[in-house]
């Protein structure tokens, strides 16, 4: 039946379908929709979580912690963090290029400045969570925190 053929397609989350016969206008229409969607998500990162690819808006990331080769990413939209494999340095390079207000506060921690509720010389707080600031990053963090005040 047609349902048996279509069900696996929806598991892949296709953007759209082209049904034969299709015209050049049909293709252009779908490409324009894709282009608009990509512009809406220009500040997103893609992660593999539980063998599925997910797109995360950068502004939803509260903090990222590196534990061995695993990244723990806390999103404001999720109760529990998500986990993916990767290097914090690689992710940090992407975040820096986006200039989205992230702070590297420790060799294993990056925080989103938008979610910082309190700052001391030795720690950054996101809500009740205390995240240590290493001596290596302390002066840069102090400068960047007070830039926004």
According to DSSP, the β-strands at 123-126 and 44-49 are unpaired
What six digits make up the tokens of 6?
């279509």
Mean pLDDT, residues 42-70 = 90
Mean pLDDT of the chain: 84
The percent of residues in the chain predicted with pLDDT above 90, rounded, is: 42
Residue 72 pLDDT exceeds 70: yes
Please, are residues 131 and 140 in contact by the beta-carbon 8 Å criterion? no
- pLDDT for 70: 96
- Label residue 131 by pLDDT band (50, 70, 90): very high
Given a cut of 70, whether residue 55 has pLDDT beyond it is yes
């Amino acid at each position: 039946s047609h349902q048996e053929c279509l069900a696996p397609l929806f598991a892949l989350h296709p953007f759209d379908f082209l049904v034969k016969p299709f015209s050049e206008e049909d293709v252009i229409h779908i490409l324009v929709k894709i282009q608009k969607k990509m512009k809406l998500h220009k500040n997103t990162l893609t992660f593999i979580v539980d063998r599925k690819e997910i797109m995360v808006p950068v502004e939803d990331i509260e903090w990222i912690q590196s534990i061995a080769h695993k990244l723990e990413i806390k999103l404001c939209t999720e109760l529990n963090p998500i986990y993916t494999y990767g290097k914090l340095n690689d992710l940090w390079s992407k975040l820096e290029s986006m200039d989205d207000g992230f702070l590297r506060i420790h060799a294993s921690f990056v925080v989103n400045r938008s979610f910082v509720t309190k700052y001391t010389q030795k720690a950054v707080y996101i809500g009740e969570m205390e995240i240590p600031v290493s001596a290596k990053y302390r002066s840069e963090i102090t400068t960047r925190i007070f830039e926004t005040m």
